Amino acid sequence: MDAERKAAVKYCRGCEQSKPVISFGVDRSKADGLALRCRSCTLAHAREDHRRRREAQGAVVRPRPGRENNGVDKLCPDCGTVKPLGEFGRNKALQDGHSFYCKECARLRSNRLYRERAVQQGRAVRERTEVPEGTKWCPTCRTVVPHAGWHKTARSADGFASACKACRKVRGARDHLKRTYGLTPEDVERMLLAQRRLCGICRRRPAAHVDHDHRSGAVRGMLCFLCNVLLGHAEDDVRVLVAAVGYLERFPSVGPPRAADARWREVPTLMVGPLSADWERRN
């Protein structure tokens, strides 16, 4: 019975050809139980009928995407351009194995949908900035920086870091303060103001280094490089520093006093204001 059915043919009113009955859909209202048109013609007729109804409603009907007859090109419904399949992304869910839209249109649609969702959620959306060739937009300082001002990395698509070198340097210094001392840049600024930006020991050179107890981790103040190295070589041992004082007193210097010595009487006792909660917990 199946062999006889496969061998049977029927005339299609759409393409006006005789085709095997297996090429026709089922229609119980007809005497033979088959549709008047073959499956291909029924589908084409439905699409044409849909297009006419949409046009009658004043809607814009986009061309249906699909491969061209050569099996190498495909029509993008957004830009309406026939492009090689290599310009379409992969999508195994579709019959031809390629995306519905070309890569360029897919990117534009993705950006547009992202902005629409962000606006609906009340988030600020930065306007897209067109940057010249050889440069990249830095989202941190919000400027266009040449490629020479970026670190290279293989983790990103463009081969460059997410922030320029200057911003990464500032971020690294801030993270180092928080990770090592539990301080913020505001805490350091308050300490410098309390010391009049001078070293807490010599009171001659600018304070540029955070001094802390290597045993407890407690922050003590701000020192210059030389005084910070002095405490480091003495290993914070008061006996070594007292011995150094006695050694210098045995060999007093000869000559007029230096102008910097007067600063010892000008700088008041160090009074550091309240620091961050992380610093207070650690101390």
pTM across the whole model: 0.50
Q: Are residues 202 and 154 part of one domain?
A: no
Q: Are residues 278 and 242 part of one domain?
A: yes
Neighbour tally for 135: CB within 10 Å: 15
Q: Are residues 239 and 199 part of one domain?
A: yes
Q: Are residues 95 and 28 part of one domain?
A: no
User: Going along the chain, which residue ranges are E strands?
Assistant: 9-11, 18-20, 24-26, 34-38, 73-75, 82-84, 88-90, 98-102, 135-138, 143-146, 209-212, 219-223
Residue listed under structure tokens 């407890």:
216
Is residue 62 a part of any domain in this protein? no
The two tokens of residue 126 are 């930065």
Alpha-carbon distances of 164 from 172, 175, 190, rounded to whole Å:
12, 16, 28
Is residue 268 a part of any domain in this protein? yes
The CA distance from 181 to 226, in Å, is: 20
Q: What letter would DSSP give residue 59?
A: P
**Contact indicator for 92, 104 with CB cutoff of 8 Å:** no
The CA distance from 75 to 73, in Å, is: 7
Q: Are residues 91 and 104 part of one domain?
A: yes
The CA distance from 183 to 198, in Å, is: 19
The domain of 80 spans 73-119
Domain of residue 216, CATH code: 3.40.1800.10
Report the number of distinct structural domains present in the chain.
4
User: Phi and psi (nearest 5°) for 84?
Assistant: -60, 155
What DSSP letter does each residue of 135-152 carry, written as one string? EEEETTTTEEEEGGGS-B
Q: Are residues 175 and 197 part of one domain?
A: no
Q: Are residues 189 and 177 part of one domain?
A: no
Is residue 105 a part of any domain in this protein? yes
The CA distance from 264 to 283, in Å, is: 28
Domain of residue 26, CATH code: 3.30.60
Q: Are residues 271 and 203 part of one domain?
A: yes
> Strand 73-75 to strand 34-38: parallel, antiparallel, or no bridges (unpaired)?
unpaired
The CA distance from 177 to 272, in Å, is: 17
Query: Which SS3 state, helix, strand or coil, does residue 171 take?
Result: helix
> Strand 98-102 to strand 88-90: parallel, antiparallel, or no bridges (unpaired)?
antiparallel
- Ordered per-residue pLDDT tens for the chain, 283 residues: 455 555 688 899 888 889 888 888 888 898 888 988 898 888 888 888 888 888 888 876 666 554 444 557 888 888 888 888 889 998 888 777 888 899 999 999 998 899 899 989 998 887 777 889 999 999 899 899 999 999 999 998 889 999 999 999 999 999 999 999 999 999 999 999 999 999 999 988 999 999 998 888 889 999 999 999 999 999 989 999 999 989 988 887 766 666 555 555 454 444 444 455 554 555 5
Q: Are residues 97 and 19 part of one domain?
A: no
Is residue 114 a part of any domain in this protein? yes
